[in-house]
């Protein structure tokens, strides 16, 4: 007899979801016991890490990842990570265990009120009416996750897995195609706008994804600067390209100043425009026309653009490059081209430029070591950049050092900068584990503050157990530096203490992950020189517990 469990396994195989990220509970035991050999089970010690690792896996594989959560407690623990996956537009299929269907009316122990627990962050929540509807619901969740690029949930009572599934109709297509062609006639208004622009600019966002090369070709055709969206979850344009114009500021006044020279701004794969501190006034200078290309309906519908396309950024950029005449702007770009270093070679010296996310300008200077003084995060990141392989995947979660990371560590591939677009902590450590599992031959580095790392530290056990050779570079200052500075700006005393007692290296070792304490520049360069050549092939994770001070120039 074919069971619902058998039918769901067939769906998982058909769609390539044969790796299961999970922290199991009793309502999932009927599904998980006796797994076939071709289904791989990956354990994480907390549901936030479960979803975070699956998020990294899905980014690396460019395909939905499978998550299993345990009723109310499991889904509740994972909501923050689910929100991050939604904001980062990462497809996940999440099965949530539920108590036995036959006595749910009595609300037995471990029965969950699960339909709305994750709020509006899932792209779909399905609670099948019959056990026999579960396989079709899982298949539909796969399609919904891929189409809407977010987490899709299916709630499954524990007794459903043993129910018969003989001769049932599955309410989902076996194969779903999403044609991405864009008609030239539809692009005519945008072609006319860009052709007539005096000084256009492009804003690239995380939604560019597979349109990276097409956007580069378009930018070179237009001969205009390309800015990175603020608070983006992924690089949208090579940040070592001569036309790269840095990250857009995150407040309206600076945003208007940055866009003042441009009469037309083409936003590709990003919202118009994502900011943090509220400030009155328009987003762009008077007379500046904004056009948008995105495949995210929510972004298209809420963005105050003059012209918006709900379409594939890759397809639109490719056709625009063919349709637009080459620009004659005298090589217009923010800076002259510099010689590109080979993979694994030191990066060029840092430039003098305005840092990202609305931070105040300060020159890129050599920060010489001072005896007895803590290391500066900027110097640490510069040493990392000098050794980072070109194809490295870099995951960032260090809010007080993010401007320096943007200055010194340019993303040279689409995965060269990843971050939690939601802004909540706990993304980087588990995401790095999942990414390295998905891309086992690619260097993976997580640059994380110690406060951020504590939210996802459980994932280090999974990294050690499954021999995931990622590098975790923890900038440890023993405090929430961003919060401290925000309190200072308000003119009041913060009630929260530092947490200098926390031993990041000791915590890592307790989870089976090797660690190394780094408290001097000599120790830093020695550690990086030792580990960097091994990043593509190593099978053991490593945490570098790097003691740093708080940059006195930093302003959130």
C-beta neighbour count of 288 within 10 angstroms: 19
Please tell me the CATH code under which domain 377-547 is placed: 3.40.50.970
Ranges in the chain, pLDDT < 70:
329-372, 551-556
**pTM exceeds 0.85:** yes
Distance between CA atoms of residues 325 and 334, nearest Å? 21
Query: What CA dihedral angle connects 382, 386, 392 and 397, to 10 degrees?
Result: -10
The separation between the first and the last C-alpha atoms of the chain, rounded to the nearest angstrom, is 61
Distance between CA atoms of residues 543 and 530, nearest Å? 13
Distance between CA atoms of residues 36 and 485, nearest Å? 53
Is residue 52 within 8 Å of residue 437, measured between CB atoms? no
Q: Which two tokens stand for residue 220?
A: 């070179």
- Superfamily holding 184-323: TPP-binding domain (3.40.50.1220)
Torsions phi, psi for 67 (to 5 deg): -125, 140
Domain-wise residue ranges, the chain: 4-162, 184-323, 377-547
CATH 2.40.30.30 fits 4-162, yes or no: no
User: How remote is the C-alpha of 61 from its chain's centroid?
Assistant: 13
Interhelix angle 71-87/47-61, rounded to 10 degrees, is 40
Per the listing, tokens 């939210």 go with 455
Quote the pLDDT of residue 401. 87
Tally DSSP H helices, then E strands, for the chain: 18, 18
Query: What CA dihedral angle connects 83, 89, 90 and 96, to 10 degrees?
Result: 40
User: How remote is the C-alpha of 304 from its chain's centroid?
Assistant: 25
Q: Which two tokens stand for residue 92?
A: 């996940």
Alpha helices of 97-251 — where are they, by DSSP H? 134-148, 184-195, 212-222
Quote the pLDDT of residue 364. 42
Quote the pLDDT of residue 155. 97
Closest of 413, 467, 411 to residue 440, by C-alpha = 467
Q: Is the dihedral of CA 196, 199, 205, 209 positive or negative?
A: positive
Quote the pLDDT of residue 500. 83
Torsions phi, psi for 154 (to 5 deg): -130, 120
């Amino acid at each position: 007899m074919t069971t619902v469990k058998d039918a769901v396994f067939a769906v998982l195989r058909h769609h390539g979801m044969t790796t299961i990220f999970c922290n199991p509970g009793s309502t999932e035991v009927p599904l998980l016991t006796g797994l076939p050999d071709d289904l791989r089970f990956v354990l994480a010690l907390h549901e936030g890490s479960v979803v975070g690792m699956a998020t990294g896996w899905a980014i690396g594989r460019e395909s939905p990842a499978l998550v299993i959560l345990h009723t109310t407690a499991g889904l509740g623990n994972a909501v923050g990570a689910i929100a991050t996956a939604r904001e980062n537009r990462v497809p996940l299929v999440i099965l949530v265990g539920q108590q036995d269907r036959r006595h749910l009316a009595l609300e037995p122990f471990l029965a969950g009120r699960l339909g709305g627990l994750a709020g509006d962050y899932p792209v779909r929540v399905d609670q099948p009416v019959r056990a026999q509807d579960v396989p079709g619901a899982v298949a539909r969740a796969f399609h919904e996750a891929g189409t809407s690029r977010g987490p899709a949930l299916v709630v499954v009572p524990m007794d459903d897995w043993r129910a018969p599934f003989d001769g049932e109709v599955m309410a989902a297509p076996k194969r779903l195609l999403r044609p991405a062609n864009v008609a030239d006639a539809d692009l005519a208004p945008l072609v006319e706008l860009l052709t007539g622009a005096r000084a256009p600019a492009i804003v690239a966002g995380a939604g560019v994804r597979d349109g990276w090369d097409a956007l580069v070709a378009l930018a070179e055709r237009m001969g205009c600067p390309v800015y990175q969206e603020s608070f983006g979850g992924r690089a949208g344009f090579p940040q070592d390209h001569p036309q790269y114009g840095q990250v857009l500021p995150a407040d309206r006044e600076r945003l208007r100043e940055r866009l003042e020279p441009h009469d037309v701004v083409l936003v590709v794969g990003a919202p118009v425009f994502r900011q943090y501190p509220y400030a009155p006034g328009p987003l762009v200078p008077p007379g500046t026309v904004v056009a948008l290309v995105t495949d995210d309906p929510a972004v298209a519908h809420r963005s105050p653009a003059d012209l918006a396309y709900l379409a594939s950024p890759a397809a639109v950029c490719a056709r625009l490059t063919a349709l637009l005449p080459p620009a004659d702007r005298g090589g217009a770009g923010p800076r002259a081209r510099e010689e590109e270093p080979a993979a694994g070679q030191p990066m060029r010296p840092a430039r003098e430029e305005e840092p990202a996310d609305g931070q105040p300008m300060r020159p890129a200077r050599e920060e010489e070591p001072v005896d007895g003084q803590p290391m500066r995060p900027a110097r640490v990141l510069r040493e990392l950049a000098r050794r980072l392989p070109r194809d490295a995947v870099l995951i960032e979660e260090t809010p007080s050092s993010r401007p320096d990371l943007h200055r010194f560590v340019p993303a040279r591939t689409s995965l060269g900068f990843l971050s939690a677009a939601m802004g909540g902590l706990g993304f980087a450590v588990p995401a790095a584990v999942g990414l390295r599992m998905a891309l086992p031959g690619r260097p993976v580095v997580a640059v994380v503050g110690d406060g951020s790392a504590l939210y996802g530290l459980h994932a280090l056990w999974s990294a050690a157990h499954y021999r995931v050779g990622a590098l975790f570079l923890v900038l440890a200052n023993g405090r929430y530096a961003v919060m401290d500075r925000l309190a200072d700006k308000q003119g009041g005393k913060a009630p929260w203490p530092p947490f200098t007692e926390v031993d990041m290296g000791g915590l890592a070792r307790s989870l089976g992950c090797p660690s190394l304490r780094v408290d001097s520049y000599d120790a830093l360069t020695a550690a990086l020189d030792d580990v960097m050549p091994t990043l593509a092939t190593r099978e053991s994770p490593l945490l570098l517990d790097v003691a740093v001070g708080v940059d006195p120039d930093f302003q959130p």
